[in-house]
Amino acid sequence: MQNRVLLVEDDEELRQLLARYLTTQGFSVREAANGRDGLSLALGQDCDIVVLDIMLPDINGLDVLRELRGKTHLPVILLTARGDETDRIVGLEVGADDYIPKPCNPRELVARLQAILRRVAWDQQADVDASRVYGDLRVEPDQRRIYQNDTPLELTATEYEVLQVLLAHAGSVVRKTDLMQWALGRRLEAYDRTLDMHVSNLRKKLGNDDPTRIETVRGLGYSYRVPTE
């Protein structure tokens, strides 16, 4: 079955170029030229992943993302202006799974899409009985859900991946380079704060009353500490 990509981009020339390239790479592509149409298609379950431009003519892409995150865990990759770090940080805070600056290399976009979709597919094929418990957290791979005291955490696809990797190595340090590769499917680059923002979001969702739950090990990476009663 082809992976279905929703491409929300108001620049017609860029949208058609990306759509043609994605089609040659085996994707089924739906297109939207504005935020309202993109939001409607995404909520209509017509896609497996969304590529969303931030600068749209009607609704800002970040507002579209906020709407989506209130209703779905659908993976989202943002298209951001090159050099605009503020939009990237806000996008990750709102719940984007990844971002790619414009003008983007179509091959890089395909690599990012494939990395996220592979992770989702692997988890969906997991043993339905393979739930794992770490203190007050329970990982249910078949559901792609993590529960805290039996309450599901509202995580994006990438936040789920980051947290389940940290949990699998609880008590040990996971190097940032490894965590980036295992959870996001790509190499860590200089000045890339994507991983840091996902960890920051996870700390907020897990409760800031225990800042040592996900510990930053300076110069190395992160370590998850299972809280004791």
pLDDT score of 229: 60
Query: At a CB cut-off of 8 Å and minimum separation 6, what does 204 contact?
Result: none
Cα–Cα dist 84/66, whole Å:
19
Contacts of 104 (CB under 8 A, 6+ apart): 18, 79
pLDDT of residue 84: 72
Which residues in the chain show pLDDT less than 50? 127-128
| Per-residue confidence (pLDDT) for residue 82, from 0 to 100 | 66
What is the per-residue pLDDT for 102? 87
Point out which residues pair with 132 in neighbouring strands: 139
User: Which phi-psi region, left, alpha or beta, contains residue 142 (left: φ > 0; alpha: ψ -120 to 50)?
Assistant: alpha
Say what the pLDDT of residue 29 is.
95
Is residue 81 within 8 A of residue 106, CB to CB? The reply is no
pLDDT at 140: 87
pLDDT at position 117 = 87
Residue 191: per-residue pLDDT:
78
